[in-house]
Amino acid sequence: MLYPPTMRYRVKTSRPEGEVAIPGSKSHTIRALVCGLLAGGESAIEAPLDSADTRSCLAMVQSFGAGVREESGRWIVSGRGGRPVVPDDVVDVGNSGTSLYMGLGVAALAEGISVFTGDGQIRSRPAGPLLASLRDLGCMAESTRGNDIPPLVICGRMKGGRTSVEAHTSQYLSSLLLAAPCADGETRIEVPLLNEAPYVAMTLSWMDRLGIEYKNDGMKRFVIPGGQSYRPFTGSIPADFSSAAFFIVAAAVTGSRITLKGLDLADTQGDRAVVDIVESMGARVERGERAITIEGGTLKGGTFDLNAIPDALPALAVAGCLARGETRLVNVPQARLKETDRIAVMRSELSKMGADIEEKPDGLVIRGGGLKGALLHGHGDHRVVMALSVAGMAAGGETTIDTAESAAVTFPAFGELMSSLGADIELLED
């Protein structure tokens, strides 16, 4: 459920231990919904993540003509065969940046004008490179205020052609890749800059699975024939490594032992690298079949390139605070372009807890030494709220984090699952 927008987490020193089932991947669920819309016939998405972000995407694909039927543990999507309809109203994606960017590609396939907006955070998210590429491919694509941020207006239909996109966020490229097979003609995409490559690999895995043809030259250039159709599908959504990261770090920094069920280390999700990172820092890891056990120990710092996994920065910043020596989180400038500027926000909030933390243009430098409880601002950012909650478990005293309702964007059950493991975390209403 979605919490009312006046909530706080109160967290005290604790050691969460036991087993927990991790919910489905947000990134996979959203791609499945978009592919279901673009496919012909019915597709069945089993074990989807049910969160505010995925609900935003579900509403978005419905606005473009998809039929969605919810059954126990699955969503059935009736697709449009690559021919979305023009929405009857403005498309409001809430807080979901992924739904915004993927939706722009969908809108490029509709024969008419679509308008996108979202909450305050979404209305600060840049879209200029994606808009420019959509124009290259035959669409009208503009910001209503001429500043490349929502509200955005798209008018299709995508013809194909040539474009070059600097993918400061991988979602620019994923949007183009998902839409291009349904364009009228061939699309050629040059990619001079790509952050978050594993998320593009995830997009390509869906295209492979659903019979889409393309040529990929080392993620630097793509050739996608037009006039293709996505096959309908039935498939289960794997557990979310991005959500699991908070439990992984919680075990590592509190010295506890947590088994995470449902995780597949062979999946394309980039955030599976968090397992290797905490292991290199000194946590003990047991890898099983769709289960991973993390046991905390004495942690040491290190240098970690997070370009492929920017969503892991908040949780790993907490790990750095509880590690000996210096931890450097580097090469992740796109973390400033998420729901918040997560580099600045994590420095600010962890500093309130006594952290010796330095902000760099592309990351953080953290000198471990422990944390103390404090009153913290969650900035309405789900990953910041959850990371600071984990910090509170390892800190001395009591920690309070506001805007706790934002955890529901990707992980509505976060607090409940942590509490079930013995974490001293309580949801409070102001």
Known catalytic membership, residue 184: no
User: What string of H, E and C letters represents the secondary structure of 148-184?
Assistant: CCCCEEEECCCCCEEEEEEECCHHHHHHHHHHHHHCC
Catalytically annotated residue among 136, 240, 267, 311: 311
Alpha carbon separation from 209 to 74, 154, 198, 231 (Å, rounded): 19, 28, 16, 9
- Of the candidates 309, 318, 312, the residue with the CA atom closest to the CA atom of residue 349: 318
- Of the candidates 250, 104, 124, 268, the residue with the CA atom closest to the CA atom of residue 198: 268
- Of the candidates 26, 67, 61, 16, the residue with the CA atom closest to the CA atom of residue 47: 26
Per the DSSP assignment, residues forming a β-bridge with 46 are 74, 236
Q: Could you give the CA distance from residue 239 to residue 367 in angstroms, rounded to a whole number?
A: 32
- Of the candidates 47, 140, 151, 46, the residue with the CA atom closest to the CA atom of residue 90: 151
Q: Could you give the CA distance from residue 292 to residue 260 in angstroms, rounded to a whole number?
A: 5
Token output for 266 = 């062979």
Q: Are the beta carbons of 177 and 163 closer than 8 angstroms?
A: no
- Of the candidates 14, 92, 36, 12, the residue with the CA atom closest to the CA atom of residue 60: 92
Alpha helices by DSSP H, listed for 78-127, are 97-107
Token output for 322 = 């509880």
- Of the candidates 271, 345, 272, 344, the residue with the CA atom closest to the CA atom of residue 309: 271
Please state, as a whole number, how many other Cβ atoms lie within 10 Å of the Cβ of residue 18.
Answer: 12
- Of the candidates 423, 199, 166, the residue with the CA atom closest to the CA atom of residue 309: 199
Per the DSSP assignment, residues forming a β-bridge with 7 are 429
- Give catalytic residue positions: 311
